[in-house]
Amino acid sequence: MKVAVVHALTKVSDIVWELPPSYKEGMRVPARIFATERLIREMDEAVFEQISNVATLPGIARCAMCMPDGHSGYGFPIGGVAAMDIARGGVISPGGIGFDINCGMRLVVTNLTWEEVQPHLKRLVDLLYLRVPAGVGSTGFLRLSRPEFRAVLEEGAHWCVRHGYGWHEDLELTEENGRIEGADPDAVSERAIDRGIKQIGTLGSGNHYLEIQVVRPEHIYDRKVAEKFGITIPNQVVVMFHCGSRGFGHQVTSDYLQVFLRVMESKYGIRILDRELASAPFDSPEGQRYFAAMKTALNVSFANRQVILHRIREVFSEVFGRSAEDLGMHMVYDVAHNTAKLERHLVDGQQRQLLVHRKGSTRAFGPGLPGLPERYRDTGQPVIIGGSMETGSYLLVGVPGGGESFFSTAHGSGRTMSRARARRLWRGQTLQQEMETHGVYVRTASWSGLAEEAGGAYKKIDDVVEATELAGLSRRVVRFTPVGNVKG
């Protein structure tokens, strides 16, 4: 990071930093970064340029925010949060949501211990690798007609459960109950449908993964809440996976970026500092059509993760000769990244309806908030933060004081280097061997893709979670140790 940027930052506290509106012409609000000084210095300069650009968008409320795992992205930094006041000309921006719409995390417990699973680990990972396709262009086992796929766009995970790919309780434990209302298949292109129709039940590539993990007793930080979330036995085995809307979401984003670039300035007089922040007024025809299209991608992603869970349950049942119900394979929660949602939040002492963009950021509702499953009403929302495949991941919980960030928190470790640089520093085959030596069995669809996801290419997950907790965004419940991994 350049010294000039460091000097421009105002240190609000040990964990909160700001670029004031005077930092850049056109900023309407401050740009706020939640991070320790160490994490601030690990962030690339583009993070600060991008989050200050976000602060120039029409209708933005309170401040533009970046989470502790922040790194540069398209338009918004990854880890960016911005709430737009729709009554005050707020815009919707695809760059504030991302190409992989509703990329997210799902966590599933079992009643198995590591001692029971260890002898079967390689068979489990090998079967998961076969049953949950990974990598660029991978396709799933579902063969849907176009009418069936359009039904998925509207119904999300509900379509899957209705067709036998899951349990009814899975819906209760999925953000938006696995289906967001207002999705309109007519708002998406035929090209988007072509790209998505064969990809339900697949991981994809990049930082997406499916991981078998263990809860060590010393890594339970809040036993009462952990038990509420289903973590009840020593050395319990859980399964976590991370994926999104794949090619469908990417095409929806690409299509509407072009629409917004055509109308943004000529029709609505919106001038921006970066074309990647192409926007339209939320209440405009273009804004509403994109919002409805984006919701179909949210639903596709919920369906994708639902079918993957179904396949995981099949694999565990096959290996252990017991039903998934008997193995206690219940969901903890499914959280979405890369979304924009209408929510009510307190701003300047008034409740306002805001369009909250979360780009590589997780919703983290505190206790008692509407939208929580009844069983988590008193605890707050489970928050799943994935680490690198070499280090571990966390389960956190939303906190009552999270309103300052519009109840948003970090979503992962956050990269410290480009994928290209990671490929220069690591070889996939060597990395796989080293990880197995350290107790993590990995199957991958791409050696270069594996190298890109080396642990050294990411911030330390413990540092990110510590900053998240110190900032009052969410708090630790459990840390997970990886033992088996399927990578795209």
Catalytic residue positions, numbered? 411
The radius of gyration of the chain's CA atoms, rounded to the nearest angstrom, is: 21
State the residue for tokens 């989050």: 51
Tally of CB atoms within 10 A around 201: 25
How far apart CA 390 and CA 474 sit, in angstroms, is: 23
HEC profile for the chain? CCHHHHHHCEEEECCEEEECHHHCCCCCCCEEEECCHHHHHHCCHHHHHHHHHHCCCCCECCCEEEEEEEECCCCCCEEEEEEEEHHHCCEECHHHCCCCCCCEEEEEEEEEEHHHHHHHHHHHHHHHHHHCCECCCCCCCCCCCHHHHHHHHHHCHHHHHHCCCCCHHHHHCEHHHHCCCCCCHHHCCHHHHHHHCCCCCCCECCCCEEEEEEECHHHECCHHHHHHCCCCCCCEEEEEEEECCHHHHHHHHHHHHHHHHHHHHHHHCCCCCCHHHCCEECCCHHHHHHHHHHHHHHHHHHHHHHHHHHHHHHHHHHHHCCCCCCCCCCEEEEEECCEEEEEEEEECCEEEEEEEEEECCEECCCCCCCCCCHHHCCCCCEEEEECCCCCCEEEEEECCCHHHHCCEECCECCECCCHHHHHHHCCHHHHHHHHHHCCCEEEECCHHHHHHCCHHHECCHHHHHHHHHHCCCEEEEEEEEEEEEEEC
List the structure tokens of 4.
Answer: 């000039």
Closest CA to 249 of 285, 287, 288, 295: 295
How far apart CA 316 and CA 481 sit, in angstroms, is: 19
Contact (CB, 8 A) for 169 and 330: yes
Contact (CB, 8 A) for 9 and 45: no
Distances 35 to 330, 335, 371, 463, 473 between C-alpha atoms, Å? 34, 22, 28, 9, 11
